[in-house]
């Protein structure tokens, strides 16, 4: 775990952050289609025997020798880059179904076809949220947003009917005590951990629930462990840090020098904050359980690498927006 987090996640991520904060981010717009196409093809490799790796019933990883990574993280960035490029090209025409709603549905549909097959419902939810936020900022009409909401509700109903594990999570969300030793076990143990932390927590490293009780204590359930060790104060502090990150990221989007940078910043901020808040909300029972991590906090070398890469692009947009505008004579 330490090796993956430090070498693959932190070190490689900081290198990516430095590089992506220095080059002209507008080059991403030029190659947006190829970036998205490459990401889709790489994600398809998880279904190839000898390359894809299955864990706990999910085929989400690619293994090359002793190195493994989750290509869905690349798809998240590629989706945001391409959709930002499309929106900046379409401009006012985004309010028409042909240049707004239809491209949004096609892009999210292509992502859903791959991610739900793995299955990786949580990552698709984050991509959907990022795309919807970008669509809103670009000037989507209310009826288009309503149509997306209706289709999303229909899609959730269909998936719950077709995927028993999703149905179990939804039922657990409405009734956390329905299956305390099965589908609702993780939520029950999470609530015990969070509640036992009380106001100030038990102290760093003093969590009891992380030993043989909480599934994935360094991954999906890390917020419950943090709340047990640092209490209500620690949990709220983490939430406020993400709120501050979101506000700063939206500020960067507001001062971006071009439409592509604006939409790109909104998408990247939503990717990071949405996945973190979805994880936290699922740990306290405000949303159904998902398998997505908290950015910068949960274990996962690939997730940390790409999160830092996303921050690098945000810094790039921030630096470009801060530069004085050159006026021609």
pLDDT in tens, 191-221: 889 998 899 989 898 888 888 788 888 888 8
pLDDT digits (tens, 9 = 90+) for 104-150: 999 999 999 899 888 888 889 999 999 999 999 998 888 899 989 89
Q: What is the pTM of this model?
A: 0.88
Closest by Cα among 252, 212, 247, 204 to 228: 204
Length of the chain: 329
Q: By mean pLDDT, which of 77-81, 164-168, 295-299 is the weakest?
A: 164-168
- The CA distance from 279 to 277, in Å, is 5
DSSP 219-245: TTTHHHHHHHHHHHHHHHHHHHHHHHH
Between 49 and 93, name the one with better pLDDT: 93
* pLDDT, greater one: 291 or 225: 225
**How buried is 70 (Cβ within 10 angstroms: 0-12 exposed, 13-18 middle, 19+ buried)?**
buried
For residues 295-321, average pLDDT: 88
The fraction of the chain above a pLDDT of 70, given in percent, is 96
**pLDDT at residue 214, as a whole number:** 83
Closest by CA position to 266, among listed 256, 279, 275, 276:
256
Contacts 24+ apart (CB under 8 A), 302-305: 302/8, 302/9, 302/69, 302/70, 302/73, 303/9, 303/70, 303/73, 304/5, 304/8, 304/9, 304/10, 304/13, 305/8, 305/9, 305/12, 305/13, 305/16, 305/73
DSSP H/E element including 67 = strand 67-69
Give Cβ neighbours of residue 216 (< 8 Å, ≥ 6 apart). Answer: 222
Please state, in angstroms and as integers, the Cα–Cα distance from residue 252 to each residue in 58, 214, 276, following that order. 36, 38, 20
Closest CA to 229 of 201, 210, 208, 209: 201
With 90 as the cut, is the pLDDT of residue 272 above it? yes
Over the chain, what is the mean pLDDT? 86
What is the rounded distance in angstroms from the CA atom of residue 194 to the CA atom of residue 223?
8
Mean pLDDT of the 275-287 span: 89
The residue assigned the tokens 């927590």 is: 201
Taking residues 252-280, report their average pLDDT.
92
| pLDDT score, position 328 | 38
In the DSSP assignment, the letter for residue 284 is T
**Tokens 């190839």 label which residue?**
48
Q: Which of 25-34, 205-214, 217-226 has the highest mean pLDDT?
A: 25-34
Please tell me the predicted confidence (pLDDT) of residue 327. 42
Residue 262 banded pLDDT, cuts 50, 70, 90: very high
């Amino acid at each position: 775990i330490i090796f993956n987090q430090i070498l693959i996640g932190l070190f490689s991520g900081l290198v990516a952050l430095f590089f992506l904060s220095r080059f002209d981010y507008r080059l991403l717009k030029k190659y947006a289609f190829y970036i998205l196409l490459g990401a889709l093809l790489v994600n398809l490799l998880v279904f190839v025997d000898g390359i894809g790796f299955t864990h706990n019933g999910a085929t989400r990883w690619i293994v090359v020798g002793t190195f493994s990574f989750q290509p869905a993280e690349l798809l998240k960035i590629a989706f945001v880059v391409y959709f930002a490029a499309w929106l900046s090209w379409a401009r006012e025409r985004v309010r028409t179904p042909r240049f707004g709603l239809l491209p949004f549905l096609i892009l999210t549909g292509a992502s859903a076809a791959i991610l739900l097959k793995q299955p990786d419902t949580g990552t698709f939810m984050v991509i959907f949220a990022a795309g919807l936020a970008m669509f809103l900022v670009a000037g989507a009409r209310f009826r288009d947003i309503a149509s997306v909401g209706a289709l999303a509700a229909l899609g959730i109903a269909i998936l719950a009917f077709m995927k028993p594990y999703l149905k179990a999570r939804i039922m657990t969300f409405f009734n956390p005590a329905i299956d305390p030793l099965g589908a609702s076990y993780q939520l029950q143990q999470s609530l015990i951990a969070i509640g036992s932390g009380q106001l100030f927590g038990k102290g760093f490293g003093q969590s009891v629930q992380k030993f043989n009780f909480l599934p994935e204590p360094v991954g999906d359930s890390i917020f419950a462990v943090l709340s047990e060790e640092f209490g209500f104060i620690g949990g709220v502090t983490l939430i406020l840090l993400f709120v501050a990150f979101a506000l700063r990221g939206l500020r960067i989007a507001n001062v971006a020098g071009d439409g592509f940078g604006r939409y790109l910043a909104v998408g990247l901020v939503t990717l990071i904050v949405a996945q973190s808040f979805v994880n936290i909300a699922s740990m306290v029972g405000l949303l159904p359980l998902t398998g997505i991590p908290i950015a910068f906090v949960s274990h996962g070398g690939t997730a940390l690498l790409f999160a830092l890469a996303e921050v690098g692009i945000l810094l790039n947009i921030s630096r470009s927006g801060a530069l004085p505008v050159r006026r021609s004579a």
